[in-house]
Amino acid sequence: MNRLIVCFLAALAGMAVVTSAQSDSIFVVRQDVSTGMAELSLISLPFGDVRIVSNLTFSFEFPLVECTVDTENRLVYLVTIDVVSGGSIMYTLDERLNVVNKWTTPGTNDFFDLQYNAYQSALYGISVVSRYGRVLSNITAVPGNNNISIDHLVAMPMGWYVNASSFDGPTNRYFALINQFPGNANWTNAQQLVVADFSGIVTPAPAQFYPLPQPQSNGGIIHFLGYNWDGDGGRSIWALSVGPGVSNPSPNTLTLVSLNSDTGEYEAVADFGQPGQYDIGPLVVDSGDQGGNPYFFCRDTSSGLWMLVVYDVMRTQQFHVVRRFMDSSKAFRAVAYAPW
């Protein structure tokens, strides 16, 4: 009898852990590949259940969409570029995915790639200053009207654009993966990691630019970024690459990689699937109590179905498929983590 009681209590303890983990969520942009129309959904972790789908629908040309979460006020910021005017459209939605505010720009003051930092109550984004000019900026949007101010902070090298970005709130550091615009003279597929330290103040700041391994030599083309701070001093940036993998030299291998946030050092961690088996999708890091695990979406090229995958950093050091989504008509385009 005592043994049964112990087993029962252990089972309850296990249930408590699972229930706690369910408080974490991700906001996801899904786009109909036929019509171009998109919606925002709230998906719970760790099981991948779709909890809410927004009434808001919008259209964009991929990859021109990004979302980020204000954990202070439990708001989601969503930005895209209007397919008609070419101007930026930004929404805030509450945790039930009701639209709270909407702002638009005329196409001459555009911004993109948002990152919200709750420690500063500040919204960062990339301002488009010319055809090939991009500047990391502080975006201020006044609720209730269409006023948006953009304060330039850190200029990207001319001819380079931001592929993906992330933010470390406790240290007020911004991270970006930048690529060269293709088609320009002397264009290469080189990539750099940008680290800008704002030291608690939203003012122009010095930035470090770390060259990353040349793709196809000892790594692949890197996509998406997710920053992790594990609370014990461990800090790393997770990303996905397509190229030669850890154990497979094929140039079409989907590989989880880690970037050192202080030096830009690149480490290939693990390959997922066979070469060419999956199309890459957005990545995010669960930074909750059980966090540090990178989640990402990918598309099975044989079935056309999308899936949510997690890499268990702390326990198994293996990939686990969280959920397969049976609607192949909707692609996963952007994702943001929320601690609720």
* 334 pLDDT more than 90: yes
Q: Has residue 255 been placed in a domain?
A: yes
Question: 10 — phi, psi (to 5°)?
Answer: -65, -40
* 1 pLDDT more than 90: no
Confidence at 128, pLDDT banded by 50, 70, 90: very high
Which pair of tokens denotes residue 50? 């779709």
- Looking at residue 4, its pLDDT comes to 39
> Which residues form the domain of 293?
24-338
CB proximity list for 280: less than 8 A, separation 6 or greater: 223, 224, 240, 242, 254, 296, 298
- From 124-138, 276-290, 291-305, 321-335, the region with the lowest mean pLDDT: 276-290
pLDDT digits (tens, 9 = 90+) for 164-184: 999 988 889 999 999 999 877
Q: Has residue 4 been placed in a domain?
A: no
Instruction: Give exposure, 279-305, as e/b (b: 16+ Cβ within 10 Å).
Output: ebbbbbbbbbebbbbbbbbbbeeeeee
- Looking at residue 330, its pLDDT comes to 96
Which pair of tokens denotes residue 167? 């933010």
Report the number of distinct structural domains present in the chain: 1
Residue 75 CA to residue 226 CA, distance in Å, equals 19
88/147: higher pLDDT? 88
- Looking at residue 142, its pLDDT comes to 85
**CA 328 to centroid of chain Cα atoms:** 21
Confidence at 213, pLDDT banded by 50, 70, 90: confident
pLDDT digits (tens, 9 = 90+) for 14-60: 333 333 334 699 999 999 999 999 999 999 998 999 999 999 999 99
pLDDT digits (tens, 9 = 90+) for 183-198: 777 788 889 999 999 8
- Looking at residue 29, its pLDDT comes to 98
Q: Which residues pair with 209 in a beta bridge?
A: 194
- Looking at residue 22, its pLDDT comes to 44
Q: Has residue 18 been placed in a domain?
A: no
Give the rounded percent of residues in the chain with a pLDDT score beyond 70: 88
pLDDT digits (tens, 9 = 90+) for 262-299: 888 888 899 999 989 999 999 999 875 455 899 999 99
| Region 217-230 average pLDDT | 73
- Looking at residue 18, its pLDDT comes to 33
Amino acid making up residue 57: T
Q: Has residue 1 been placed in a domain?
A: no
Q: Has residue 12 been placed in a domain?
A: no
Question: 17 — phi, psi (to 5°)?
Answer: -65, -45
Amino acid making up residue 56: L
| Region 319-330 average pLDDT | 96
Residue 154 CA to residue 149 CA, distance in Å, equals 16
Q: Has residue 7 been placed in a domain?
A: no
| Region 138-148 average pLDDT | 88
Confidence at 215, pLDDT banded by 50, 70, 90: low
- Looking at residue 235, its pLDDT comes to 65
- Looking at residue 224, its pLDDT comes to 87
Model's pTM, two decimal places? 0.88
Q: Has residue 17 been placed in a domain?
A: no
- Looking at residue 291, its pLDDT comes to 54
CATH code, domain carrying 228: 2.120.10.30
Instruction: Give exposure, 147-182, as e/b (b: 16+ Cβ within 10 Å).
Output: ebebeebbbbeebbbbbbbbbbbeebbbbbbbbbee
Q: Has residue 2 been placed in a domain?
A: no
Residue 215 CA to residue 241 CA, distance in Å, equals 9
200/266: higher pLDDT? 266
- Ranges 3-7, 105-109, 162-166, most confident: 162-166
Give the rounded percent of residues in the chain with a pLDDT score beyond 90: 60
